[in-house]
Amino acid sequence: MRPKNVPEPEELSKIDHKPPLFESWMDKKPEFKPGFYCYGAKAKNIAAVGMPNPRDWSPTDEDWKLPENWKEIFLNGMKERLEKYRSFKLFMDICVRCGACADKCHYFIGSGDPKNMPVLRAELLRSVYRKYFTTGGKLFGKLAGARELTFDVLKEIWYYLYQCSECRRCSLFCPYGIDTAEITILGRELTNLLGLNTDWIQASVANCYRTGNHIGLQPHAYKDMIEFLCDECEEVTGIRPQPQFNKKGAEILFVTPSGDVFADPGTYTCMGYLLLFHYLQEEYGFDITWSTYASEGGNFGYFTSHEMAKRLHAKIYMEAKRLGVKWILGGECGHMWRLLNQYIDTFNGPPDYLEEPVSPITGTKFEHAKGHKIVHIVEFTADLIRHNKLKLDPSRNDHLVLTFHDSCNPARGMGFFEEPRYVIKSVCRNFYEMPSNTIREQTFCCGSGAGLNAGENMELRMRGGLPRANAVKYVHEKYGVNMMACICAIDRAALPVLMQYWVPEVDITGVHELVGNALVFKNEKKRTTDLRGNPFVGAEEEQGDAV
């Protein structure tokens, strides 16, 4: 299932990274190329969460149906944010345009569009900042790098803010730590003051607000989906997990991105969670509950505004409080974990009504999580494995040759590197790293983060994912890697398509799917396949012998 409407790789890879010699970026009008942008947010989805200027619109429309005083709104919004965010003000002032960040952005690498260089992406806003907020810009205009905020400039800003996946790779290389992701986040807030979100994001936000998850699964449907995954588990292992829902007084609340419940291959990861919980329940009386209300760990609000992020993620604490759990376990998700690490306690804390997390099985105190009281499931599992609490058979993953994709957010917004590797190496025997400047803190984005994982901007995604895919291809050719693990639901949705396009031999898995494969239950049936129904190494021959 190669993505449609995207040129062939041979064609698409003709990328010129050299901007034209005599072109002036300030005077170049934005050109909206199909495949690079998403549809405009629908009126009903904007209105559903009470955000400004609800109406149906499309980015290619001549008229974006902006309010009369849109310029004023935008500039006032900018002023307000300059006063509220030191990051914004500082990053507007101190860039020296050294270009160190320029070729670090996967969208620039994949598209060659100079305005996808982080520095220029930021300059688009910076030029407006100079015009209205600095003396030099007011006096000297273009010579000082300042630009009037015209409709064309607004369009340009919009077009490129929604071609940034907020991955922060640029910020790692910037000598002043200028984080273009932060500028994008705040820039997107400004566009949202004018009702200029994409529908892919806005619809998810509206869904999440109402039903608790991006997909819009109502409680019964959510439960159904999980029950269905339990059926699947039973089929493969002979064991039927018994998940609990909205259970008051449970010890732990489990929150994971709804993508895991909904779509392959995230569902296999979800089966991994279910099996693990069931195993722990059987062996150690583990008491964990899912919630249909806080049924989303991800947070597309974050791709809209800080406020929307805060509003959506509030449900996690509210639900933990209502159910009276001790602490919260978080599933494998990228931006969710940046938010849980860097924002949630500031947004909606302090969660005094919870307890400092302690693993009920190993007794380990998660000291580093004692503030926000949320533990990453990979940490949790790593601790279990470390204490020999799981019976694992890594040979069951022998049919896989793995590599690991560090998702941007846990990498550069948390520093979550060793735990997943520890778990993977404990449950698999063939593991190879990609080249060092494409992993860990230098990891490349999947190309679809920050709400860009829609269908209509597929070309952008395939281009943005090129550096990642290229590194995968390298280990595939060198070591025969056929599976890439990740700890992010967006990755699990986006990377399979990317792999289909660039390296079709490689598939994508969550870490807990691998755990689910390797976990040995006392009373399981003889397992011959992994959670996907692919035969284990050696299983086929055995079967053949038997016949």
Partner 1 sequence: MNFLVGLIFSAIVAIVVLLVPWIGVGVLHLYTIFGIVVPYLAILIFLIGMILRVIDWGRSPVPFRIPTTAGQQWSFPWIKHSWIENPKDSKGVIVRMALEVLCFRSLFRNVRLEYRRIENLPKVAFEWEKWLWMAAIAFHYSFLVIFLRHFRFFTNPIPSFVKIIEKLDGFFQAGVLPIPGLTIPEVYITDLLLLAAVTYLLLRRLYIPQVRYVSLPSDYFPLFLILGIGTTGVLMRYFLRVDVTKVKELAFGLFKFHPHVPDGIGTIFFIHLFFVCTLIAYIPFSKICHMAGIFLSPTRNLSNNSRFKRHINPWDNKPAWEYPGMVHTYEEYEEEFRDVMIEAGIPVEKMPEKKEEEKPEQEQ
Q: Between 202 and 448, whose beta carbon lies closer to ligand SF4?
A: 448
Q: Which does 121 bind (CB under 5 to 8 A by kind): ligand SF4, partner 1, none?
A: ligand SF4
Report, in Å, the least distance between residue 236 CB and partner 1. 25
Look at residues 42, 38, 36, 45 and name the one whose alpha carbon lies nearest to residue 301: 45
Q: Which does 166 bind (CB under 5 to 8 A by kind): partner 1, ligand SF4, none?
A: ligand SF4
Q: Which does 165 bind (CB under 5 to 8 A by kind): partner 1, ligand SF4, none?
A: ligand SF4
Q: Between 422 and 432, whose beta carbon lies closer to partner 1?
A: 422
Q: Between 118 and 297, whose beta carbon lies closer to ligand SF4?
A: 118
Q: Between 399 and 461, whose beta carbon lies closer to partner 1?
A: 461
Give the separation between CA 276 and CA 256, rounded to whole angstroms: 14
Q: In what order do the strands lie in the sheet with 244-245?
A: 244-245, 288-290, 252-255, 327-330, 374-376
Look at residues 425, 442, 424 and name the one whose alpha carbon lies nearest to residue 434: 442
| Residue ranges binding ligand SF4 (CB under 6 A) | 95-101, 104-105, 107, 118-119, 121, 164-170, 174-176, 178, 180-181, 184
Q: Between 196 and 382, whose beta carbon lies closer to partner 1?
A: 382
Q: Between 290 and 337, whose beta carbon lies closer to ligand SF4?
A: 337
Report, in Å, the least distance between residue 271 CB and ligand SF4. 32
Residue count of the chain, please give it.
547
Report, in Å, the least distance between residue 217 CB and partner 1. 11
Cβ–Cβ < 8 Å for 121, 158: no
The residue type at 40? G
Torsion over CA: 120, 121, 123, 127 (sign): positive
Report, in Å, the least distance between residue 312 CB and partner 1. 8
Cβ–Cβ < 8 Å for 52, 194: yes
Q: Which residue has the tokens 């996808």?
A: 116
Q: Is 247 exposed, middle or buried (0-12, 13-18, 19+ CB in 10 A)?
A: middle
Report, in Å, the least distance between residue 92 CB and ligand SF4. 11
Q: Which does 207 bind (CB under 5 to 8 A by kind): ligand SF4, partner 1, none?
A: none
Q: Which does 59 bind (CB under 5 to 8 A by kind): partner 1, ligand SF4, none?
A: none
Look at residues 92, 93, 98, 110 and name the one whose alpha carbon lies nearest to residue 167: 110
Q: Which does 293 bind (CB under 5 to 8 A by kind): partner 1, ligand SF4, none?
A: partner 1
Cβ–Cβ < 8 Å for 214, 316: no
Q: Which does 26 bind (CB under 5 to 8 A by kind): ligand SF4, partner 1, none?
A: partner 1
For residue 265, whether the previous peptide bond is cis, meaning omega lies within 30 degrees of 0, is yes
